[in-house]
Amino acid sequence: MKKKVVSVILAMTMVASMAMGCGSSSDTTTSDNSTTTSDAAASTEASDAADATADAASGDLADKKVGVCIYQFADNFMTLFRGELENYLIEQGFSKENITIVDGANDQATQTNQIQNFITQGVDVLIINPVNSSSAETITDMVVEAGIPLVYINREPDASEEQRWADNNWDVTYVGCDARQSGTYQGEMIADLGLDTVDMNGNGKIDYIMIEGDPENVDAQYRTEYSIKALEDAGLEVNCLDDQVGMWDQATAQQLVANSLSQNGNDIEVVFCNNDAMALGALQAIESAGRTVGEDIYLVGVDALSEALEDVLAGTMTGTVFNDHFSQSHSAADAAINYLTGAGNEHYIGCDYVKVTKDNAQEILDMVK
User: Do residues 130 and 153 touch, judged by C-beta distance below 8 A?
Assistant: no
Please state the rounded mean pLDDT for residues 179-204. Answer: 97
- For the cut 80, the answer to whether the pLDDT of residue 223 exceeds it is yes
Three-class DSSP category at 358: coil
- For the cut 50, the answer to whether the pLDDT of residue 23 exceeds it is no
Q: 318: Cβ–Cβ under 8 A, 6 or more apart, which residues?
A: 189, 190, 193, 293, 294, 298, 299, 300, 312, 357
- For the cut 80, the answer to whether the pLDDT of residue 47 exceeds it is no
**Helix, strand, coil abundance in the chain, percent, nearest 5:** 50, 15, 30
Domain boundaries, the chain: 66-178+325-352, 180-322+358-366
User: How many CB atoms are located within 10 Å of the residue 341 CB?
Assistant: 18
Q: Considering the entire predicted model, what is its pTM?
A: 0.78
Confidence of residue 59 (pLDDT cuts 50, 70, 90): low
User: pLDDT for 250-301, tens place per residue?
Assistant: 999 999 999 999 999 999 999 999 999 999 999 999 999 999 999 999 999 9
How far, in Å, CA of 76 to CA of 145, rounded? 33
* Lowest mean per-residue pLDDT among 11-25, 82-96, 231-245, 307-321: 11-25
| Fold of the 66-178+325-352 domain | Rossmann fold (3.40.50)
| Fold of the 180-322+358-366 domain | Rossmann fold (3.40.50)
Q: 255: Cβ–Cβ under 8 A, 6 or more apart, which residues?
A: 281, 285
Q: How many helices (H) and strands (E) in the chain?
A: 14, 12
Residue 167 φ then ψ, to 5°: -60, -35
